[in-house]
Structure 1
Amino acid sequence: MTTTLTDTENQSDDGKRDQDPQDPTSGGTTFEHISKSAPKNATICIVGLGYVGLPLAVGFAQSDYRVIGYDVDDETVDRLRAGVDTTGELSAEGIRDDNISYTTSAAEISEADYVIITVPTPVDDDDRPDLTYVEQAGRTVGSRMDPGTTVILESTVYPGTTREVLVPALEEASELTAGEDFFVGYSPERATPGDPDHGLADVVKVVSGQNEKVLEDVATLYESVVDAGVHRAPSIEVAEACKVVENAQRDLNIAFVNELSMVFERLDVDTQAVLEAAGTKWNFHDYRPGLVGGHCIPVDPYFLAHRSAREGFDPELVHTGRKVNESVPDHVAELTIKALNECHKTLRESRVLVLGLSYKPGVGDIRSSKVADVVDALAEYDVDIEGFDPFADDDAVREAFDLEVQETLSFEGVDAIVLATPHAEFEQLDLEAVADELAERPALVDVTGTLEKDAAVEAGFVYRRL
């Protein structure tokens, strides 16, 4: 994924072609056209070739657009040129599509009719939105784009960011005026890594533009690649807000069942059984407890809360949901310690194997994985911790998690297993055979309840789950 966008490639006026500006869009003034070319004849530049940008580049290329894939990471671009899928989500054939050219040269941005920005938008150590990459991307794109270009932001942001942060960066670097010389839109990404059934073409795309003309232009562009269709938001701010609300809603619902799991653990009541029983009511929403990691759900609520606080309203429920979900790694560690104690294990002499280290099943991405917090919490008890993940890069795990990593799965001598990320490879574990390899009277903490409790108990495990 793109990590920075600072390349301005010897900025100079000769990087732009002279052209009369379009009629301004404010005040009801109309203009003949927006982008330099109509869709299908257009050139599209994707800025940032991570898990959002790369599928976009491939999707547009497969729809016969000419696509420029721009990223400042030399290694990423070199691997893509070699036909290597850097996200693990696409085919080598798609990466090698003749309609895509991968580059680290910002000068090529000037060839694009549409520029789509898909850079990271993390939060800092104080949970405040970090829009550095958006600003840098705006300056880089602005320094190279020609008049008539339409710039679309897809990065997750709080309402108002496109107009307040991106547009000024574009205008300052380009010396052009938004709505007169170039145009802006916003379309929130809905990428779902590890889910082949919900790719670019399969999920309704929300689109917006700075006015009706731009909105229709942007909608037409995305309709040509999204089979599920597009939803035209009435304003850029509505489109920006819908993205953070989608994930804030999930965060709150998961926080509710996570808190229930903590309540029922103290009451010695099976949370999963409670949720299955409650789920027989027609209007009960099915959410399950678990670790909340990744790049969206644990991040987007902070964007909403930050923007709300600027207007003098602190959204307490949003903060509470975040607080509950951030406490789950400590709760998992506590369950593990309790299980070891029940097994009569001496903590400092115990070995714990953590299965699954990435932030969600079926992917190898360990960034923003809350399993790291579980490992940190267990380390405070001086237990010996090892990890195994069939998808994650072992060297990256060693560096990020600071723990021993098994390259080949082995249970020999292990006192407790923590099934943290339920990759499909773990779902069919032969618990009887696994128990035979483990130390006497082992523990199994099945965080998401992936394995059969009765089978685990029959195999001799002390079993815990959220």
Structure 2
Amino acid sequence: MTTTITDTENRADERERDRYALRSSERGTTFEHTEDGVAQTATVCVVGLGYVGLPLAVGFARSNYRVIGYDVDESTVERLRAGTDTTGDLSDEAVQDDDITYTTDAAEIRDADYVIIAVPTPIDGDEQPDLSYVESAATTVGSKMGPGTTVVLESTVYPGSTREVLVPALEDASDLAAGSDFFVGYSPERATPGDEEHGLADVVKVVSGQNEAVLEDVASLYESVVDAGVHRAPSIEVAEACKVVENTQRDLNIAFVNELSMALERLDVDGQAVLEAAGTKWNFHDYRPGLVGGHCIPVDPYFLTYRSAREGFDPELMRTSRKVNESVPDYVAELTIKALNECHKTLRDSRVLVLGLAYKPGVGDIRSSKVTDVVDTLREYDIDVKGFDPFTDDDAVRESLGIDVQDRLSFEGFDAVLLATPHAEFEQLDLEAVASQLAADPALIDVTGALEEAPATEAGFVYRRV
């Protein structure tokens, strides 16, 4: 079938663009191109100043926007006002930009031309998406924003959430109509915490809008802060789906190598050596086994499975991958117990030092860390477990994870070392020196294979890796 765009439809599109331009002009939004770049007179409000929102606020301020950083957490705002980087990914100097106003006063939102919502979207105990933070933020924004405002959601959601959850909440709270009085877009966050090479400016930004005029305006907004450029998605639903698909694909691939490692371990075949050999083929994808923690890979697939189930389709492969990756903490604990047994240790008398408690190397974020699950399983066997991580806050670890931690690294009196999160600081360990401090016949469980097996066994360790 051939689709013909009629003159009536063309005129409707023109009216839509004119109406959007009028509303935007009422807010005073302009993009002035200069020889040095882009000088902005627009005001951007970022709602939610966490690992996604704070870098956004800083990025827009650096691009000469006036920025309002809004958060409901008074302690977070107080620390930011005092010039402290609350994420550890930026710097204290970065958050001290004079063009950023940090506030808990929602009334400040009314000054914004653009409002970007970057609040958490976790899953509940039944593995169902929890969009209550999005709905709450939208209600707050709607109650304060004026006509002509453009609201962009960056939180991870299932396809359809912007139209089904965000828009109704904005309309109910504002008494304004989406598409005529205010406008909406969606742009999934893509920056990687702890990765200096993949920050806000370095990764192509996917953008979308409720119509062509909004899409182009939102694209221009992000193009002014993202050096890598933007990709214009044909619909909001495509942009919503792309974010969860990116991380679901990674979940699937990691699940395969995790299950492969479990199978090869029972065959007494070196799984890492197998992956290295297979990797010599040009089209083999390089994924490595390990714990799958964090806020994206263990969560995003559930947004797709939930939305698919609503339409009567059960995505079995996605569900199976999640099941496999959720089983890895128990598998790591099992490897640890086997290693202790091989060292002729009595489990209830054994002491294990866990190196690395954050969910991934180079960051101090302990939320959604799967190391906790490993520790819980080891404790079921009355094994004494302590931890050390140079990046995490010790008090937060004790309170949130219930793990006793060392203030400084010491191997004295331990029977085994479990290298769970391979921070770069651990990769240079002198294994002979470490072994000399441990109890006789020690074990080393190297979850990701960050250390070489030969030096470990030469130093006297019973060595295991996933």
- Report the TM-score range of the alignment, normalised by the length of the smaller protein: over 0.9
Indicate which of 27, 30, 36 corresponds to 1:38.
30
C-alpha separation in 2, matches of 1:118 and 1:452: 41
Residue of structure 2 in register with 1:286 after alignment: 286
Report the count of equivalent residues.
442
1:163-203, CA deviations, whole angstroms, 9 ceiling, x for partnerless residues?
Answer: 00000000000000000100000000012011000011000
Where in structure 2 are the equivalents of 1:177-196 lying within 5 Å? 177-196=177-196
Equivalent residues of 1:387, 1:403 under 8 A apart: yes
Please tell me the root mean square deviation across aligned C-alpha atoms, in Å: 1.1
Residue of structure 1 in register with 2:156 after alignment: 156
C-alpha separation in 2, matches of 1:38 and 1:292: 44
Residue of structure 1 in register with 2:128 after alignment: 128
1:205-241, CA deviations, whole angstroms, 9 ceiling, x for partnerless residues?
Answer: 0000000000000000000000000000000000000
1:401 deviates by: 2.2
1:304-343, CA deviations, whole angstroms, 9 ceiling, x for partnerless residues?
Answer: 1000000000100000000000000000000000000000
Residue of structure 2 in register with 1:409 after alignment: 409
1:26 deviates by: 11
Residue of structure 2 in register with 1:300 after alignment: 300
- Say which SS state the counterpart of residue 372 (structure 1) adopts: helix
- Say which SS state the counterpart of residue 151 (structure 2) adopts: strand
Q: What are structure 2's unaligned runs of at least 5 residues?
A: 1-9, 32-39
Amino acid at match of 2:347: L
C-alpha separation in 1, matches of 2:172 and 2:253: 42
Amino acid at match of 1:289: P
Equivalent residues of 1:26, 1:179 under 8 A apart: no
1:435 aligns with 2:449: no
Where in structure 2 are the equivalents of 1:1-150 lying within 5 Å? 28=13, 29-30=15-16, 31-32=18-19, 33=21, 34-35=23-24, 36=27, 37-39=29-31, 40-150=40-150
Bigger mean CA offset, 450-459 vs 393-402: 393-402
- Say which SS state the counterpart of residue 93 (structure 2) adopts: helix
1:353 aligns with 2:353: yes
Where in structure 2 are the equivalents of 1:320-399 lying within 5 Å? 320-399=320-399
1:399 deviates by: 1.6
Amino acid at match of 1:38: T
- Say which SS state the counterpart of residue 190 (structure 1) adopts: coil
1:93 deviates by: 1.9
Amino acid at match of 2:426: F
Equivalent residues of 1:375, 1:401 under 8 A apart: no
Residue of structure 2 in register with 1:243 after alignment: 243
C-alpha separation in 2, matches of 1:150 and 1:98: 24
CA 1:26–1:444 in 2, change beyond 3 Å: closer, same or farther? farther
C-alpha separation in 2, matches of 1:326 and 1:27: 51
Amino acid at match of 2:143: S
- Say which SS state the counterpart of residue 180 (structure 1) adopts: coil
1:38 deviates by: 2.1
C-alpha separation in 2, matches of 1:392 and 1:95: 21
1:314 aligns with 2:310: no
C-alpha separation in 2, matches of 1:191 and 1:201: 8
- Say which SS state the counterpart of residue 405 (structure 1) adopts: coil
1:41 deviates by: 1.2
C-alpha separation in 2, matches of 1:199 and 1:398: 30
Runs of 4+ aligned structure 1 residues displaced above 4 Å come to none
Residue of structure 2 in register with 1:13 after alignment: none
Which has the bigger relative contact order, CA under 8 A and spacing at least 6?
Answer: 1
Equivalent residues of 1:77, 1:104 under 8 A apart: yes
Amino acid at match of 2:399: E
- Say which SS state the counterpart of residue 241 (structure 1) adopts: helix
Identical-residue share of aligned pairs (%): 79
- Say which SS state the counterpart of residue 138 (structure 1) adopts: helix
Amino acid at match of 1:425: E
Residue of structure 2 in register with 1:5 after alignment: none
C-alpha separation in 1, matches of 2:408 and 2:289: 29
Amino acid at match of 1:253: N
Amino acid at match of 1:148: G
Where in structure 2 are the equivalents of 1:189-228 lying within 5 Å? 189-228=189-228
Equivalent residues of 1:358, 1:366 under 8 A apart: yes
1:91 deviates by: 1.9
C-alpha separation in 2, matches of 1:446 and 1:366: 19
CA 1:26–1:177 in 2, change beyond 3 Å: closer, same or farther? farther
C-alpha separation in 2, matches of 1:26 and 1:432: 77
- Say which SS state the counterpart of residue 374 (structure 2) adopts: helix
Residue of structure 1 in register with 2:461 after alignment: 461
Q: What are structure 1's unaligned runs of at least 5 residues?
A: 1-24
1:249 deviates by: 0.1
Bigger mean CA offset, 85-94 vs 165-174: 85-94
- Say which SS state the counterpart of residue 360 (structure 2) adopts: coil
C-alpha separation in 2, matches of 1:207 and 1:442: 53
